[in-house]
Amino acid sequence: MRRDSWQGTNLPKVSGYNRAVVLDAIRGHDGISRVELADRTGLTAQTMSNIVRGLIGDGLVTEDGHAPSTGGKRRSRLRLVADSQHAVGLHLDHERLTGVLLDLSGSPLRRSERAIPPDSSSSTVIRALNRMFTQLVRSSGTDRLLGVGLAVPSALDSSRRGLAYGSWAGVPLADLVQDRLGVPVVMDGDGIAAAVGEHWSGGEHRTGSFLYVHLGSRVGIGLVLDDQVHRGTSGNAGEIAHVPGAGGRECVCGRRGCLDAYCSMSAVVADWRASANGTGPASAETVHAEYDQLRRAASDGDALAVKTLRQAASRLGQALAPVVGVLDLDRVVLGGPALRHVDEHIRPRVAKALDAYRSSPGGCRVESGLVGDDAGAVGAAALVLDQAHAPRLAPLPG
Amino acid sequence: MRRDSWQGTNLPKVSGYNRAVVLDAIRGHDGISRVELADRTGLTAQTMSNIVRGLIGDGLVTEDGHAPSTGGKRRSRLRLVADSQHAVGLHLDHERLTGVLLDLSGSPLRRSERAIPPDSSSSTVIRALNRMFTQLVRSSGTDRLLGVGLAVPSALDSSRRGLAYGSWAGVPLADLVQDRLGVPVVMDGDGIAAAVGEHWSGGEHRTGSFLYVHLGSRVGIGLVLDDQVHRGTSGNAGEIAHVPGAGGRECVCGRRGCLDAYCSMSAVVADWRASANGTGPASAETVHAEYDQLRRAASDGDALAVKTLRQAASRLGQALAPVVGVLDLDRVVLGGPALRHVDEHIRPRVAKALDAYRSSPGGCRVESGLVGDDAGAVGAAALVLDQAHAPRLAPLPG
């Protein structure tokens, strides 16, 4: 982001900001009273009252019940009308498509998943995205759709509407999906999207700053710094899959030693195969199924499976360490489908690697995400909700 | 930073923010008219007029001359009264103390430098800081001192008022200096301070996001992200000196492979000695003098000296690469005394290492700092000016 000058602020911007602050507080504190709201946000009773009236009028908030009062008239409780707005999130991963419909509280109302054949053309995938979208919207019967978020397993190109690498480079994916679906589509890398989802859904457990690691078919990262997602100059903050580390293993990108060559789902499966029976890498069609076998074996205590996962986790921790150290973060959150059932093997190794590298005082906790397996799709939908409703450290330049 | 809730905003906060925005625009555009100011900041003529009147009343801004007008009455030009406020910056580096007195525009009015014997006690150094401070203030005759900034070559402890490591760990340095000097003292690591100084003094050339590398007796980093300095959870963002990389060289911190073991001034001098004549590391007393010899040799084209600097620069670039990549930055700025006269050898190697690691589209420029050798001390003073006058992406959470 470049600015020519800072922009001043004015009453309309301020009132939009305060409205977002109030909605955020009601969303995070179900049943809060107006007095508590004023106390939490520092707004005057009068300002608060006007904002709440507006939110109720727009159907986003309702009042019901009464909070205990210290005397005088009883206080009505304010609640989010979670069903007042919906967003669809679509996560395009290698060989897999996942979709969710979220309500305004960030809860998934519907989910859907399907395999995509390897090397599918973009038009095939756009048709599949459209079918999933239609199914999610139809089955829920929603007529309150805010928009669609798309999470992709790749760096974005300079337009931020397509992928930078691979066979789809040059395809304006987000625009084509938007044309096909007929609704606004926002797009980010899956690491950024999942971090936004965790921030949106995690409430007071996910305030401040954290680094989110999305473990899907590849590793993607999202950075939330002082409650703002950091997207970087080209929208590709968090692209760590092809940052090289120690080791010279050949990567699909043509370089050597990339994190992806050791920690992608297919790399981990190939390592397990190699250590177990010496056979070569998994085929693209079967990598998800084989990873499921690996995680079952690890859950059953299979030593080779556990060792394979731990090695990958240590390497992941080593790659994260300089970033966590230089940003001085005290929390790393792990999530995504590759973590399911095996986080007990992965989390401690990541934590150990971070501790070994720590160059400033204070430790870094490594936690499992609150959103779960569908972090990419939930995050994609949260991009829409975040854009519409999150308080910014506004008034923003521009 | 943790928050319980976002804080709403109100008129006093907004007016403080708008005032900072206007002062920033006047500081950055000498001789700007009220009309141009309103245009740049998006504020109404009425708001602008009130703010400018307040700034003139407080003596921070003056009007003189007349800008060309397109017709009607002529426009008066607004200028910063650079001399209206001063700040002292003190940079405590290993074996060296540097001090500056800055005016409000960020220009140094006075500077001072002296050696400190190795292993000096904190009380010796505090006395030296006091002497330097007194000398800077007396010689300038200023009676408009806003405060003192202190930049240190180390991670901060959990109080953020002392150093985390070394023989001074546990000494509340900033508080002791503040008591001794009798003026408010703010403190940061020298990487953060130098980044703030570059941002404050660099105007439109240093907006947005960049990573600043301060090359003093050690390497310290400062991150400016979307025009805000990023300090991290414990105030130690940018501590990269003891983040290990490839290589197992023993570090003073007791671990192996730290950047400091390869890129500190004393490590570079030791490498040069070793390659030139096989003698051991420099003594602490002579490291600055020997580094000066090294840089003179490199400037004269001495192949060994050039090679030594290039090797250190490559390693620095490799350490920066994952951070630059994951944050998706397009600018790295190098500064500090170790860069003087040798940036032609260092800058290209850092750039080359960053290019080799790039994992998302778009390149990263590597530039030399605008502030120069005294970046640490200028930055320390800028901490004071920044705290008093920089627009924040406010209203900040309380």
Residues A61-80: what's their mean pLDDT? 76
pLDDT for B310-329, tens place per residue?
A: 999 999 999 999 999 999 99
Q: What pLDDT score was predicted for residue B244?
A: 74
Q: Tell whether B99 is covered by a domain.
A: yes
Q: Tell whether A275 is covered by a domain.
A: yes
pLDDT for B272-286, tens place per residue?
A: 999 887 776 667 788
Question: How close, in Å, is residue B300 to chain A by CA atoms?
Answer: 36
Give the tokens for residue B345.
Answer: 């050898």
Q: What pLDDT score was predicted for residue B196?
A: 97
Q: Tell whether A46 is covered by a domain.
A: yes
Structure confidence at residue A69 as a pLDDT band (50, 70, 90): low
Q: What is the DSSP letter of B163?
A: B
ipTM of the complex: 0.92
Examine the domain organization and report whether B299 and B358 are in the same domain: yes
Structure confidence at residue A9 as a pLDDT band (50, 70, 90): confident
Full DSSP string of A54-94: HHHHTTSEEEEEEE--SSSSPEEEEEE-GGG-EEEEEEEET
Q: Tell whether A3 is covered by a domain.
A: no
Full DSSP string of B93-139: ETTEEEEEEEETTS-EEEEEEEE--TT--HHHHHHHHHHHHHHHHHH
Is A157 in Cβ contact with B361 (below 8 Å)?
yes
Structure confidence at residue B8 as a pLDDT band (50, 70, 90): confident
Structure confidence at residue A394 as a pLDDT band (50, 70, 90): very low
The range of the structural domain enclosing residue A293 comes to: 206-369
Q: Which of B80, B108, B128 is the last residue of a domain?
A: B80
Examine the domain organization and report whether A37 and A92 are in the same domain: no
pLDDT at A248 over 90: no
Examine the domain organization and report whether A243 and A189 are in the same domain: no
Residues B348-367: what's their mean pLDDT? 87
pLDDT at A3 over 60: no
Examine the domain organization and report whether B217 and B340 are in the same domain: yes
Q: Tell whether A267 is covered by a domain.
A: yes
pLDDT at A160 over 80: yes
pLDDT for B369-396, tens place per residue?
A: 999 899 999 999 999 999 999 887 644 3
Q: What pLDDT score was predicted for residue A375?
A: 97
User: Which residues in chain B touch residue A264, judged by CB atoms under 8 angstroms apart?
Assistant: none
Examine the domain organization and report whether A52 and A64 are in the same domain: yes
Structure confidence at residue B72 as a pLDDT band (50, 70, 90): low
User: Which residue, among A125, A71, A334, has the nearest Cα to A211 in the 3D structure?
Assistant: A334
Strand order in the sheet with B331-335: B228-230, B219-225, B210-215, B331-335, B365-368
Q: Which of A48, A80, A112 is the last residue of a domain?
A: A80
User: Which residues in chain A touch residue B245, judged by CB atoms under 8 angstroms apart?
Assistant: 322
Q: Tell whether A321 is covered by a domain.
A: yes
Structure confidence at residue A119 as a pLDDT band (50, 70, 90): confident
Question: How close, in Å, is residue A202 to chain B by CA atoms?
Answer: 13
Structure confidence at residue B398 as a pLDDT band (50, 70, 90): very low
Size of interface A-B (CB pairs under 8 A): 235
Q: Best residue in A2, A6, A18 to probe B by mutation, most B CBs within 10 Å?
A: A6
Q: How far apart are CA B394 and CA B398, in angstroms?
A: 10
Omega within 30 of 0 (cis) for the link into B395: yes
pLDDT at B269 over 50: yes
Structure confidence at residue A68 as a pLDDT band (50, 70, 90): low
Examine the domain organization and report whether A212 and A358 are in the same domain: yes
Q: Tell whether B234 is covered by a domain.
A: yes
Residues A14-40: what's their mean pLDDT? 90
C-alpha atoms less than 13 angstroms from C-alpha of B243 in its C-beta half-sphere: 29
Question: How close, in Å, is residue B371 to chain A by CA atoms?
Answer: 20
pLDDT at A320 over 90: yes
Examine the domain organization and report whether A256 and A347 are in the same domain: yes
| Dihedral angle over CA of B342, B362, B355, A333, nearest 10 | 110
Q: Tell whether A396 is covered by a domain.
A: no
Task: Tell me which chain B residue has its CA closest to the CA of residue A2.
Answer: B208
Residues A21-50: what's their mean pLDDT? 91
Number of domains in chain B: 3
Q: What is the DSSP letter of A32?
A: B
Q: What pLDDT score was predicted for residue B396?
A: 38
Q: What pLDDT score was predicted for residue A14?
A: 80
Q: Best residue in A359, A386, A396 to probe B by mutation, most B CBs within 10 Å?
A: A359
Is B321 in Cβ contact with A231 (below 8 Å)?
no
Is A323 in Cβ contact with B323 (below 8 Å)?
yes
Examine the domain organization and report whether B129 and B193 are in the same domain: yes
Q: What pLDDT score was predicted for residue B231?
A: 95
Examine the domain organization and report whether B213 and B242 are in the same domain: yes
Q: Hey, how many other C-beta atoms are within 10 angstroms of the C-beta on A230?
A: 23
Examine the domain organization and report whether A288 and A175 are in the same domain: no
pLDDT for A175-230, tens place per residue?
A: 999 999 999 999 999 999 999 999 999 888 888 999 999 999 999 999 999 889 99
Query: Could you tell me the CATH number of the domain that includes residue A189?
Result: 3.30.420.40
Task: Tell me which chain A residue has its CA closest to the CA of residue B330.
Answer: A233
pLDDT at B166 over 90: no
Examine the domain organization and report whether A179 and A71 are in the same domain: no
pLDDT at B266 over 50: yes
Candidate from A333-342, B90-99, B237-246, B364-373 with smallest mean pLDDT: B237-246
Chain-wide mean pLDDT for chain B? Answer: 90
Is A326 in Cβ contact with B240 (below 8 Å)?
yes
User: Which residue, among B88, B107, B86, has the nearest Cα to B98 in the 3D structure?
Assistant: B88
Spatial contact of B187 and B150, defined as CB atoms under 8 Å apart: yes
